[in-house]
Amino acid sequence: MTGVICAMEIEMKNIREGMTVTSEKEYAGVKFVEGKKFGKDIVVAVCGVGKVFAAICTQTMIDNYKPDIILNVGVAGGLSSSLDVKDVVIADQLIQHDMDATALGCKKGEIYGAGTSSYRYFPANSYVIDRIKESAEIVNSERKKAGREPLRIFTGTVASGDLFVSDKEKKAELRDEFQAMACEMEGAAIAQVCCVNKVRFGVIRAISDSADEGSKMDFGVFCKEAADNSAELVDMFIKRS
């Protein structure tokens, strides 16, 4: 079974569409919808914004549904000048940019005292990354046949934190400190929960804004189209699962 977690309803809408629902249950205030899409078993949940909601949802999904793979899907702020709105970023690793125990000798983003090996960057599962990339190629060949613009696909580091990034200083910091390509508010928390539970995961985020002074306006304008691009990849991933 594949589990899909989005922070917001707008990011989940197209993924839930066409699903044959077998159960709807609420745990910890989150609605988990289980069923089939394209004949494949899936469970989907809208977790809410931020790392705490994301972590609660991920652990609850793992405990109750035992998914083989969890995908975190939605929109992000673009940190790289190569990125335009609606481009898609597949995370190869994730970091919590607001984790700061530098006073205790940690690097920025490193989780102090987390077992023997220090946690900083959480790598996404390579099998899942490969399947997402294959799905992206198929989506683009189908788009081409239909005369639609192909999606621009990038792979890189995603930085997560409880902050909607909307100024160029913070944007530059995330880029320079973490070599991050995109920022959002849930992915690295989901990564950490999947990591400690040994569940394979991937993160797909399309760019809704440039994480600078114009981000609030761009987010309002482009969030839906960006979310739909991410959802298109997820549909293909599920089809091929």
Active site members: 11, 209
Backbone angles phi, psi at 193, to 5 degrees: -65, -40
Residue window 167-206: x/- pattern of binding to ligand ADE, with contact defined by CB under 6 A:
----------------xxx---------------------
**Shorter beta-carbon distance to ligand ADE: residue 3 or 161:** 161
Where does this chain touch ligand ADE (CB under 6 A) — which range of 10-18, 84-92, 110-118, 211-219?
211-219
Among 58, 96, 140, 215, binds ligand ADE (CB under 6 A): 215
Q: Does 153 bind ligand ADE (CB under 6 A)?
A: no
Report strand pairing: 153-160 vs 88-96. Answer: parallel
Residue window 69-98: x/- pattern of binding to ligand ADE, with contact defined by CB under 6 A:
------xxx---------------------
**Shorter beta-carbon distance to ligand ADE: residue 24 or 167:** 167
215-239 helix and 126-145 helix, angle to the nearest 10 degrees: 100
Residue among 187, 8, 173 nearest 91 (CA): 187
Q: Does 3 bind ligand ADE (CB under 6 A)?
A: no
Q: What is the DSSP letter of 20?
A: E
Q: Is 75 helix (H, G, I), strand (E, B) or coil?
A: strand
Among 10, 73, 165, 181, binds ligand ADE (CB under 6 A): 165
The footprint of ligand ADE on residues 29-48 (CB under 6 A) is: none
Q: Does 209 bind ligand ADE (CB under 6 A)?
A: yes
Residue among 203, 194, 205, 160 nearest 178 (CA): 160
Residues 88/228, Cβ–Cβ less than 8 Å:
no
CA 146 to CA 163: how far, in whole Å?
Answer: 38
Residue among 101, 103, 97, 124 nearest 111 (CA): 101
Task: Give the interface with ligand ADE as residue ranges (CB under 6 A).
Answer: 75-77, 164-166, 183-185, 208-209, 211, 215, 219
